[in-house]
């Protein structure tokens, strides 16, 4: 069992927790993830490591309530326990040889982007961060990104905070003005990452994307997290849990990944509704 050391609400649908998991905290690196179960009968879900404190033995996770399991996890309070917390899994973000990096995060994907930005800053790199949200109410981790970045651009779709527009706008402006990066790393919704890759492509700057498809066992055996890369005209199957989650964005078949991401949408909606009804019954019974 793993105790919830701290819990903080970042916005109405996004929660941050510090979980006591000393063995995971000892080895975790930015870009890796864990797989947890809320209880013994729960499903396994992957969540990216959003931070860690090796001395305190805690691992930070940030999640958005979108389905039954995240709803159950969000209902847990400080001092309570979750059943399983396995990790760290996946390949850490590659940092070797990079002096100037641009980190592009969208929505809750900024929770994944933040420890990557912090790692590069720790290594002495010049960090430019671009974070985007639908509106001001959904903004998260602004102060943390300011500390981790030499330059920070905040975008909102409706212009309610920062600058109006999507994350590709400042990125394209910087690139067209001659700004150079050793690498661009983008983390967020698939459609956003696809357009970031296309914005960077004409400049031939290496561009990595963080892929978070459906995962079950986290070891590559189930095949649930498979995705297709197109390399030298050949289609190659990779598994996000063991080969990623970071991949060369120029090679990812985003259209296939987006289609696969919607396959269980109706099922998940049904499970989420059942979980919400259960919470309502429990509250009425108190």
* Strands, sheet with 151-156, edge to edge from the N-terminal-most edge strand: 163-164, 151-156, 126-133, 100-106, 183-187, 207-210, 246-248
Q: Do 67 and 12 sit in the same domain of this protein?
A: yes
The predicted model gives 238-263 an average pLDDT of: 85
- Host domain of residue 184: 93-210
Q: Give the total number of structural domains in the chain.
A: 3
Residues 201 and 218 in one domain: no
- Number of Cβ within a 10 Å radius of residue 238: 19
Q: Does some domain include residue 275? A: no
Residue 61 token pair? 């996770």
**The tokens of 80 are what?**
């309570």
229 and 199 in one domain? no
Residue 244's pLDDT is what? 84
Residue 55 lies in a domain: yes
Q: Is the dihedral of CA 258, 245, 131, 178 positive or negative?
A: negative
**In this structure, is residue 106 part of a structural domain?**
yes
Does 112 fall in a domain?
Answer: yes
In percent, how much of the chain has pLDDT > 70?
Answer: 91
- Is residue 177 domain-resident? yes
Q: Which residues does residue 141 pair with via DSSP β-bridges, in sequence order?
A: none
Closest Cα to residue 32, out of 52, 16, 12, 18? 52
Residue 276 in any domain: the answer is no
- Locate 28 and state its tokens: 């975790």
Same-domain pairing of 198 and 106: yes
> Where residue 153 sits, what CATH number does that domain have?
3.40.50.80
Pair 15, 118 in one domain = no
pTM of the entire predicted model: 0.85
Q: What does the pLDDT look like over 74-98, one tens digit per residue?
A: 999 999 999 999 989 999 999 999 9
Domain membership of residue 282 (yes or no) is no
Same domain, 146 and 230: no
Q: Pick 41 or 201 by higher pLDDT.
A: 201
Do 141 and 172 reside in the same domain of the chain?
Answer: yes
Reported as a single tens digit per residue, the pLDDT across 179-199 is: 999 999 999 999 999 999 999
Query: 199 with 150, same domain?
Result: yes
């Amino acid at each position: 069992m793993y105790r919830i050391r701290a819990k903080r609400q970042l916005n109405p649908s996004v929660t941050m927790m510090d979980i006591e998991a000393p063995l995971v905290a000892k080895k975790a690196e930015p870009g890796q993830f864990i797989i947890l179960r809320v209880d013994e009968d729960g499903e396994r879900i992957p969540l990216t490591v959003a931070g860690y404190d090796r001395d305190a033995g805690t691992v930070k996770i940030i999640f958005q309530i979108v389905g039954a399991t995240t709803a159950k996890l969000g209902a847990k309070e400080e001092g309570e326990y979750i059943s399983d917390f396995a990790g760290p899994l996946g390949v850490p973000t590659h940092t070797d040889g990079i002096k100037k990096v641009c980190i592009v995060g969208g929505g809750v994907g900024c929770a994944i982007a933040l420890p990557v930005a912090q790692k590069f800053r720790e290594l002495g790199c010049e960090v430019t961060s671009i974070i985007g949200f639908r509106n001001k109410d959904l903004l998260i981790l602004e102060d943390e990104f300011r500390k981790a970045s030499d330059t920070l651009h905040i975008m909102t779709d409706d212009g309610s905070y920062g600058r109006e527009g999507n994350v590709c706008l400042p990125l394209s402006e910087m690139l067209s003005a001659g700004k150079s990066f050793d690498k661009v790393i983008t983390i967020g919704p698939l459609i956003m990452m696809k357009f970031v890759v296309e914005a960077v492509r004409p400049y031939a700057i290496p561009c990595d994307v963080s892929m978070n498809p459906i995962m079950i066992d986290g070891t590559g055996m189930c095949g649930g997290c498979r995705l297709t890369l197109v390399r030298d005209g050949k289609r190659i199957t990779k598994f996000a849990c063991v080969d990623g989650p970071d991949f060369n964005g120029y090679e990812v078949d985003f259209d296939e990944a987006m289609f696969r991401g919607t396959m269980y949408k109706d099922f998940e909606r049904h499970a989420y509704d059942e979980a919400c009804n259960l919470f309502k019954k429990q509250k009425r019974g108190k």
